[in-house]
Amino acid sequence: MGLTPERYAEVDAELQKISKYLLALAVEIEMAEPLTGKRGHNYRIAVNTLGQVAVLQRTLQTALDHQRMGEAFRRRRHGG
């Protein structure tokens, strides 16, 4: 049994908050970084992390979609 649609919505909302926070933090760190050759490094790391959060969101959405398809299949198969 996977996540309920309600729990999925909660998890997705939290992941969206994490994404916004990471981006704001990356910008803050970037602005505080002295003008050196390393400027942009932390921002790139944060953007890569945001990409991984997006992958997690897509994975959760796919799992929820598969769960719904399985439930629909079982209902049809059992005449419900």
- pLDDT score for 37: 67
Q: Is the dihedral of CA 10, 16, 18, 20 positive or negative?
A: negative
pLDDT class of 43 with cuts at 50, 70, 90: confident
Residue identified by tokens 């299949």 is: 73
- pLDDT score for 13: 94
pLDDT in tens, 8-39: 889 999 999 998 998 888 888 878 877 666 66
CB contact at 8 A, 49 and 20: no
Q: Read off the amino acid at residue 73.
A: F
Reduced to 3 DSSP states, what percent helix, strand and coil does the chain have, rounded to the nearest 5? 80, 0, 20
What does the domain layout of the chain look like in residue ranges?
5-77
